[in-house]
Amino acid sequence: MKKFLIIILFLLLGLFWLKILYIVPYSNYTILDQTEKVKLKDYPELKKIRFMYSTDLYIEYTEPINLELEKVNFRINDEVIGTAEVNKNINELEDFAEPYINEKTKEKSIRKKCVLQKEFLRILGKRNEKYKVGTGTIEGRFYIDIYIKDLKTNETFIIKRDNISIYYESRGLKLYLPSI
């Protein structure tokens, strides 16, 4: 009977540890982009350009457009700390999801993404050693500028993302303690 109780106790302890321990397979940055919708009077077909939680750049538009995602600048205050060169036509970016049709307006929305996690790791540091974002030690504010080029006119415009927060999570075994 004692052995049975000990086995049950160890099983319960094991289940408890499985619930509060988890593994982060690789170091990564996450981003919270609270900037509202982008409204560009010259490009009404461009509906959204924002960062998703995983640092992927999400672009939504209503018809194939002749725009190029040139680059993404990372800034602290007014200083550019790094640039991700993309130079891809927005139509050729990776699909985020299948296009969908708005039932009310009958508009077809095309959704694309540009994966930038490697660029975040390169610019900010693989171990968050360069700027220590999300730790409270960074001096000033973090900004991201997205450069879009109109391939018809060769004019470049900048979409500024200034209401963002960036967090870093290192790889390894983590303890999850829910707040009560």
pLDDT tier at 48, thresholds 50, 70, 90: confident
**6 vs 177: CA distance, rounded Å:** 26
Domain count, the chain: 1
On whether residue 2 sits in a domain, the answer given is no
Is 70 exceeded by the pLDDT of residue 51?
yes
Mean pLDDT of the 88-115 span: 91
Q: Is 163 helix (H, G, I), strand (E, B) or coil?
A: coil
pLDDT of residue 140: 61
- Maximum distance among all Cα pairs of the chain, rounded to whole angstroms: 83
List CB contacts of 77: < 8 A, sequence separation 6 or more. 140, 141, 143
pLDDT of residue 165: 82
Range of the domain at 113: 30-169
CATH number at residue 85: 2.60.40
Report the predicted TM-score, pTM, of the whole model to 2 decimal places.
0.81
On whether residue 93 sits in a domain, the answer given is yes
Beta-sheet pairing, 79-89 with 28-33 = unpaired
Mean pLDDT of the 14-20 span: 79
Burial class (CB in 10 A: 0-12, 13-18, 19+), 83: middle
Is 90 exceeded by the pLDDT of residue 178?
no
pLDDT tier at 64, thresholds 50, 70, 90: confident
The rounded percent of the chain whose pLDDT value lies above 70 is: 94
Strand partners, 110: 61
Q: Is the CB of residue 72 less than 8 Å from the CB of residue 56?
A: no
On whether residue 149 sits in a domain, the answer given is yes
pLDDT of residue 36: 64
Mean pLDDT of the 158-164 span: 85
Amino acid at 69: L
